[in-house]
């Protein structure tokens, strides 16, 4: 079959379906999508809330709990202990399929009537405010985090310790305001570093230590904005740094300006990839449009998808095979439209199901088979009814489409979609989606951020009682915040000033520093007269511009000098 150009039924933009895509759809017996890849991604994460936490009571035991469902959510929400217990029966919510109604209409009713788990946080100690996380200790306000300790205010800490206000830390320790680092120790305000320690305001460094303001260094020590210093001179300059918020902001701006003088590789890749495109990827084969997608093969349109094989359109998944349109799913095979469901096989339109096989349109089942809309059937009854429902869904244009954002259990502004595809309240309502009007934030500020002590040494314990105003007022702004005792201790230990922004605003700033999850076709910018290193490296293209082309997350109008891997390695590696 030839490639086909279609118009997205959501954004009305054109998108392309390749011949290999059609082969995949045929294998799963689903029609080609009607939404473009971006709108499909938006629809999946509109069904996902990661870090908007609320206090509410368990619908069963009535104990107070932390939840990702705001108090206005009208369905039952149970604490972890109650939801996993045998005190209630998910099959009690089962119902017959009504062929006079659409599938999504019936599924939505079941979804909102069946108890939901308060948040995903298992085997953790003293880590109440954690979601999509497990096996953590003493963690606070973290999501997508595992086997970490003493971490705060961050996303995707894995095997890390003592990290605050970071994003994507893998086996790191003592990190602050940093992004995309692996195997690093005691680094502050760094990005894309690997195997480094005692670094400040640095980017894209490997095997370096005791460097400040450096970019794209390899195996260096005692460097200051890429200038080699003696140990004594480096330590003298470091001792003179004024650790105030104003000076930190100036240093970050200086680093950003300095980094624009150095070439960047067209993609952030951690280990070798074969025939793959995307960003923040590693160990992949035949992966296309993958973002934070690793150790996968034959995957297309995956975000935060790991160890996927023969899959398309996955978001926040692990170890899936032959799956399509999955969100928050793991360890599954042959699933279509699976959300927040693990260890399932042949699960169609599954939400919050675990250890199930051959289920259709079910919610909150544990270890069940041959169920439709939470009703138990015999094997033959299941297969007969399943085919009739699929035909009904095909007729209504539902089959193969993920759960519409209109029936999400989360209002749009509580969902992850608001981070990657932000909309105003009026825009959300106009699209027929829900919006949660949070309680009026009439916090009584007791300490304006302008009056915060410049140096952490001037802050007494009484500051823990203060309500501090936020200086940014971003679109998710909490308007004011308090300090956590462990947070204050961290700032004191490493001589860091108290931030002037609330956690949601700090999180949005970190997200903005990462490249967008989009790709543009570009040509390598390496020119003989414009090389950014010593101009002594010999490039394969000699005295002509590099002809290599690639897909990159650096948009054409950005100021970075973007190189292909070959030219980048000649100048940097």
Q: Are residues 288 and 311 in the same domain?
A: yes
The answer to whether residue 537 sits within a structural domain is yes
Domain edge (last residue) among 219, 240, 265: 265
Q: Are residues 497 and 558 in the same domain?
A: no
Q: What is the DSSP letter of 363?
A: B
What is the share, in percent, of the chain residues with pLDDT greater than 90?
91
Q: What is the span of the domain harbouring residue 275?
A: 269-320
Q: Are residues 277 and 260 in the same domain?
A: no
Least confident of 70-79, 215-224, 472-481: 472-481
Residue 441 CA to residue 141 CA, distance in Å, equals: 20
Residue 116 CA to residue 133 CA, distance in Å, equals: 17
Quick one: pLDDT at residue 573? 63
The answer to whether residue 546 sits within a structural domain is yes
Structural contact between residues 516 and 535, judged by C-beta atoms closer than 8 angstroms? no
Q: Can you say whether residue 292 is alpha, beta or left, with left for phi > 0 and alpha for psi between -120 and 50 degrees?
A: left
Residue 416 CA to residue 412 CA, distance in Å, equals: 8
Q: Are residues 183 and 211 in the same domain?
A: yes
Quick one: pLDDT at residue 529? 61
Task: Count how many domains the chain has.
Answer: 4
Q: Are residues 254 and 153 in the same domain?
A: yes
pLDDT at 536 over 70: no
Residue 518 CA to residue 551 CA, distance in Å, equals: 9
Mean residue pLDDT of the chain comes to 95
What would the pLDDT profile of 16-32 be if each residue is shown by its tens digit? Answer: 999 999 999 999 999 99
Q: Are residues 181 and 240 in the same domain?
A: yes
CA dihedral sign, ordered 330, 336, 339, 341: negative
Q: Are residues 149 and 248 in the same domain?
A: yes
The answer to whether residue 549 sits within a structural domain is yes
Q: Are residues 261 and 273 in the same domain?
A: no
The answer to whether residue 501 sits within a structural domain is yes
pLDDT at 115 over 60: yes
The answer to whether residue 492 sits within a structural domain is yes
Residue where the block lists tokens 């104990």: 63
The answer to whether residue 248 sits within a structural domain is yes
Q: What is the CA radius of gyration of the chain?
A: 25
Q: Predicted confidence band at 474 (pLDDT cuts at 50, 70, 90)? A: confident
Q: Which long-range contacts (CB under 8 A, 24 or more apart) does 220-225 make?
A: 225/254, 225/258
Q: What is the mean pLDDT of residues 47-76?
A: 95
The answer to whether residue 484 sits within a structural domain is yes
The answer to whether residue 179 sits within a structural domain is yes
Structural contact between residues 187 and 181, judged by C-beta atoms closer than 8 angstroms? yes
Q: What is the mean pLDDT of residues 464-483?
A: 91
pTM: 0.94
Structural contact between residues 94 and 106, judged by C-beta atoms closer than 8 angstroms? no
Q: Are residues 509 and 524 in the same domain?
A: no
Q: Are residues 251 and 286 in the same domain?
A: no
Q: Are residues 175 and 244 in the same domain?
A: yes
Residue 16 CA to residue 34 CA, distance in Å, equals: 11
Quick one: pLDDT at residue 439? 64
Helix (H) or strand (E) holding 486: helix 485-493
Domain edge (last residue) among 493, 513, 533: 513
Tell me how long the chain is.
Answer: 573
Q: Are residues 182 and 148 in the same domain?
A: yes
Quick one: pLDDT at residue 534? 44
Structural contact between residues 78 and 116, judged by C-beta atoms closer than 8 angstroms? yes
Q: Predicted confidence band at 201 (pLDDT cuts at 50, 70, 90)? A: very high
Structural contact between residues 83 and 58, judged by C-beta atoms closer than 8 angstroms? no
Domain edge (last residue) among 221, 247, 265: 265
Tell me the C-alpha to C-alpha distance, in Å, between residue 124 and each of 98, 127, 131, 134, 485: 42, 6, 11, 6, 20
Quick one: pLDDT at residue 347? 98
């Amino acid at each position: 079959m030839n490639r086909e150009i279609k118009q997205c039924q959501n954004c009305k933009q054109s998108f392309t379906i390749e011949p290999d895509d059609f082969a995949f759809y045929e294998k799963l017996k689903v029609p080609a999508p009607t939404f473009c890849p971006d709108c499909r991604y938006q629809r999946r994460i509109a069904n996902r809330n990661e870090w908007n936490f609320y206090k509410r009571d368990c619908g069963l035991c009535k104990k107070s709990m932390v939840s990702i469902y705001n108090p206005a959510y009208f369905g039952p929400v149970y604490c972890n202990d109650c939801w996993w217990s045998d005190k209630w029966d998910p099959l009690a919510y089962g119902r017959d399929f009504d062929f006079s109604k659409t599938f999504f209409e019936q599924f939505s009713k079941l979804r909102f009537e069946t108890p939901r788990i308060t948040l995903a946080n298992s085997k953790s100690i003293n880590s109440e405010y954690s979601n999509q996380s497990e096996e953590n200790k003493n963690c606070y306000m973290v999501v997508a985090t595992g086997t970490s300790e003493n971490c705060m205010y961050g996303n995707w800490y894995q095997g890390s310790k003592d990290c605050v206000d970071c994003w994507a830390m893998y086996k790191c320790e003592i990190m602050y305001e940093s992004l995309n680092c692996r195997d690093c120790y005691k680094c502050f305000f760094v990005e894309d570093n690997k195997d480094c320690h005692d670094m400040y305001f640095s980017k894209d460094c490997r095997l370096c230590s005791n460097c400040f303001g450096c970019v794209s260094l390899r195996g260096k020590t005692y460097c200051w904005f890429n200038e080699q210093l003696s140990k004594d001179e480096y330590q003298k300059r470091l001792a003179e740094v004024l650790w105030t918020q104003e000076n930190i902001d100036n240093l970050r701006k200086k680093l950003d300006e300095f980094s624009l003088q150095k070439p960047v590789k067209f993609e952030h890749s951690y280990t070798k990839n074969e025939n793959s495109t995307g960003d923040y990827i590693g160990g992949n084969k035949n992966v296309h449009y993958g973002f934070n997608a690793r150790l996968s093969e034959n995957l297309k349109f995956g975000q935060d998808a790991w160890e996927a094989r023969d899959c398309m359109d996955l978001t926040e998944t692990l170890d899936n095979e032959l799956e399509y349109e999955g969100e928050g799913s793991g360890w599954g095979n042959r699933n279509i439209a699976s959300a927040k469901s693990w260890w399932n096989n042949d699960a169609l339109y599954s939400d919050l199901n675990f250890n199930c096989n051959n289920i259709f349109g079910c919610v909150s089942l544990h270890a069940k088979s041959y169920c439709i809309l939470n009703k138990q059937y015999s094997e033959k009854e299941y297969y007969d009814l399943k085919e009739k429902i699929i035909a009904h869904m095909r007729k209504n244009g539902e089959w193969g489409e993920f759960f519409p954002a209109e029936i999400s259990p989360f209002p749009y502004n509580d969902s992850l979609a608001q981070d990657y595809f932000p909309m105003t309240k009026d825009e959300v309502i106009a699209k027929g989606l829900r919006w949660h009007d949070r309680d009026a934030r009439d916090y009584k500020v007791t300490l304006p951020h302008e009056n915060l002590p410049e140096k952490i040494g001037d802050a007494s314990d009484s500051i823990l009682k203060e309500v501090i105003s936020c200086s940014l007022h971003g679109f998710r702004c909490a308007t004011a915040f308090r300090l956590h005792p462990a947070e204050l201790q961290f700032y004191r230990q490493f001589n860091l000033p108290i931030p002037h922004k609330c956690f949601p605003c700090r999180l949005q700033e970190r997200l903005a520093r990462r490249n967008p999850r989009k790709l543009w076709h570009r040509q390598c910018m390496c020119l003989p007269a414009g090389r950014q290193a010593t101009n002594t490296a010999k490039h394969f293209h000699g005295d002509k511009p590099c002809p290599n082309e690639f897909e990159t997350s650096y948009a054409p109008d950005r100021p970075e000098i973007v190189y292909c891997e070959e030219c980048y390695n000649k100048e940097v590696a």
